[in-house]
């Protein structure tokens, strides 16, 4: 009997992981990617001797990557290695104070005490983060929320009894402001809402689960950089029999008798037993299922999108010992910054700036004596703003801020530059409005309102990636692949 065929639209991290899982399960798998490379948002950029990871720069929960190698019968360390960070982040505040977030919890708490004297508050905060993770992870993140079976397990029953502890009835900022007496700690805690493109003044306090991933499970760095994750998983997929077709933009998902039966690429039809879309769910419906508007889940597709990003890739002709791999330069007025992003759909003149420097650990990412700076601010999704003007002003403000805090004229040190903005994010990765994480989490029920991993109206059509359950970011994208694999039938061998 010929093998069942699975076709995957998009070679983002979730598409690659889904391909591996389905190949191991017994499917013949082909992945169709519009770009000439795999990875989606997890791309890389090389310029003037500098290498940049173009997309996600923080690596947590590496066991989900290792799990794929073990599933395929491989030893992870033969393909993919990483190191645990001793320093997770360095934080720089506008009042001149600084906070080093050590991976060692007691060292971190002592740093907080030096800054704010709030030992009890930070301990309670980290304990609460761990508790939310314990309640939510196994039930709400690792399984589909859109089928009854998920809610009939003992774990689900226990989790439902503890739902009030998820703290979904108040905003993240309200919870953090009630816990901490120091504004700098509130700002530190509120920042985690940006990990899924949301607003701490609107998003539920359930998102206080995120620090657990860093401060308890650890932050890591792949020895070949973030793009090394993509390279190693593509290698694993190909060794498992997966075929990748690059420069092959999918034009349509073929539907017959309410079933997905294949795809069309460059006017050529490819038949399939199942189709998995790793494309943003908005574009999946409006572009690939354009002839089937009756299948659109309109309420889901009309949800508020997550924030986007403006990234400057700067080759810097100097090294800065006071900086680490991950660095945050906070805004003096966090509330005003988020009001500009969400209410005014613009960019605040004093944005919080994230600077990632992978050459701190992977020295060949920059020429000798230099550093590769990935400089990012959170910005609204693309709704037709005057981006060229906004980018020009934001660049000036960012340079002024960094130069003032680091007491160095940064502009004079830039030897090369590339820019990524919401328009190019949308064009390169088919992310609607350039939103990085699909829909925002600015409501208490956001986790339950994300698009499911399987179509309710079209049989044999599945969805993975950051725009569907359980959400954006590397770990959740990998979990979406795991959920899809669990939903698909096992082929007869």
What does the pLDDT look like over 419-429, one tens digit per residue?
Answer: 999 999 999 99
Q: Say if residues 82 and 62 touch (Cβ distance below 8 Å).
A: yes
Number of domains in the chain: 1
Q: How far is 280 from 92, CA to CA, in rounded Å?
A: 35
Within a domain: 449: yes
Within a domain: 468: yes
Q: How far is 154 from 246, CA to CA, in rounded Å?
A: 44
Q: Are strands 5-9 and 274-277 parallel, antiparallel or unpaired?
A: parallel
Within a domain: 293: yes
Q: What is the token pair recorded at 77?
A: 């360390």
Domain boundaries, position 31: 5-78+223-304+445-487
Q: How far is 476 from 61, CA to CA, in rounded Å?
A: 10
Q: Are strands 308-316 and 5-9 parallel, antiparallel or unpaired?
A: unpaired
Three-state SS sequence of the chain: CCCCEEEEECCEHHHHHHHHHHHHHCCEEEEECCCCCCECCCCEEEECCEEEECCCCCEECCHHHHHHHHHCCCCHHHCCCEEECCEEEEEECCCCCEEEEECCHHHHHHHHHHHHCCHHHHHHHHHHHHHHHHHHHHHHHCCCCCCHHHHHCHHHHHHHHCHHHHCCCCEHHHHHHHHCCCHHHHHHHHHHHHHHCCCCCCCEHHHHHHHHHHHCCCEEEECCCCHHHHHHHHHHHHHCCCEEECCCCEEEEEEECCEEEEEEECCEEEECCEEEECCCHHHHHHHHCCCCHHHCCHHHHCCCECCEEEEEEEEECCCCCCCCCEEEECCCCHHHHHHHHHCCCCCCCCCCEEEECHHHCCHHHCCCCCEEEEEEEEECCCCCCCHHHHHHHHHHHHHHHHHHHHCCCCHHHEEEEEEECHHHHHHHHCCHHHCCCCECCCCCCHHHHCECCECCCCECEEECCCCECCCCCHHHHHHHHHHHHHHCCCCCC
> Measured in whole angstroms, how far is the alpha carbon of residue 195 from the centre of its chain?
7
Peptide bond into 15 cis (omega under 30): no
Within a domain: 298: yes
**Residues 6+ away with beta carbon under 8 Å from 112:** 99, 118, 119, 122, 185
Number of C-beta neighbours around residue 409 at 10 A: 10
Number of C-beta neighbours around residue 35 at 10 A: 17
Within a domain: 10: yes
Within a domain: 270: yes
What does the pLDDT look like over 71-125, one tens digit per residue?
Answer: 999 999 988 999 999 999 999 999 999 999 999 999 999 999 999 988 999 999 9
Low-confidence residues in the chain, pLDDT < 70: 1, 139, 143-153, 155-157, 159-160, 447-448, 492-493
What local confidence, expressed as pLDDT, does residue 300 receive?
83
Q: Are strands 274-277 and 308-316 parallel, antiparallel or unpaired?
A: unpaired
Within a domain: 288: yes
Q: Are strands 243-245 and 28-32 parallel, antiparallel or unpaired?
A: parallel
CATH number of 267's domain = 3.50.50.60
Within a domain: 296: yes
Cα separation of the two ends of the chain: 8
């Amino acid at each position: 009997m010929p093998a069942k065929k699975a076709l995957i639209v998009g070679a983002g991290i979730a598409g690659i992981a889904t391909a591996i899982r389905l190949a191991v399960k017994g499917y013949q798998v082909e992945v169709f990617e519009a770009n000439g490379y795999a990875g989606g948002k997890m791309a890389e950029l090389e310029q003037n001797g500098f290498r940049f990871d173009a997309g996600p720069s923080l690596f947590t929960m590496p066991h989900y990557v290792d799990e794929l190698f073990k599933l395929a019968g491989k030893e992870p360390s033969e393909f993919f290695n990483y190191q645990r960070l001793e320093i997770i982040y360095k934080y720089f505040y506008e009042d001149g104070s600084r906070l080093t977030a050590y991976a060692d919890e007691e060292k971190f708490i002592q740093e907080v005490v030096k800054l704010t004297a709030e030992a009890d508050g930070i301990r309670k905060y980290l304990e609460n983060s761990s508790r939310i993770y314990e309640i939510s992870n196994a039930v709400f993140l690792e399984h589909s929320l859109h089928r009854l079976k998920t809610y009939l397990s003992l774990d689900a029953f226990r989790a439902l009894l503890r739902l009030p502890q998820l703290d979904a009835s108040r905003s993240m900022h309200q919870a953090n402001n009630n816990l901490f007496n120091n504004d700098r700690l509130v700002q530190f805690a509120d920042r985690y809402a940006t990990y899924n493109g949301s607003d701490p003044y609107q998003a539920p306090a359930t998102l206080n689960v995120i620090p657990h991933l860093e401060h308890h499970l650890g932050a890591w760095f792949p020895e070949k950089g973030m793009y090394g994750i993509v390279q190693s998983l593509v290698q694993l997929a190909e060794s498992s029999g997966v075929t990748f077709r690059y420069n092959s933009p999918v034009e349509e998902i073929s539907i017959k008798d309410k079933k997905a039966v294949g795809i069309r690429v460059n006017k050529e039809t490819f038949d399939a037993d199942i189709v998995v879309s790793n494309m943003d769910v908005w574009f999946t419906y409006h572009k690939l299922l354009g002839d089937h508007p009756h299948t659109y889940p309109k309420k889901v597709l009309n949800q508020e999108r997550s924030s986007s990003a403006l990234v400057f890739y700067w080759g810097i002709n100097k090294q800065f010992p006071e900086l680490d791999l991950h660095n945050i330069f906070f805004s003096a007025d966090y509330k005003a910054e988020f009001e500009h992003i969400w209410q005014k759909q613009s960019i605040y003149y004093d944005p919080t700036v994230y600077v990632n420097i992978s050459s701190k650990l992977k020295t060949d990412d920059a020429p000798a004596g230099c550093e590769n700076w990935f400089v990012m601010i959170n910005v609204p999704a693309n709704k037709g703003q005057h981006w060229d003007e906004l980018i020009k002003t934001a660049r000036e403000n960012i340079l002024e801020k960094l130069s003032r805090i680091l007491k160095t004229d940064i502009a004079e040190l830039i030897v090369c530059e590339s820019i990524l903005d919401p328009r190019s994010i949308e064009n390169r990765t088919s992310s609607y409005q350039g939103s990085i994480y699909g829909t925002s989490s600015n409501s208490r029920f956001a986790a339950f309102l994300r698009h499911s991993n399987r179509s309710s109206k079209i049989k044999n059509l599945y969805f993975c990636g950051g725009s569907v359950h359980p959400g954006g970011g590397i770990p959740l994208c990998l979990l979406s692949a795991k959920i899809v694999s669990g939903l698909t039938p096992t082929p007869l061998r």
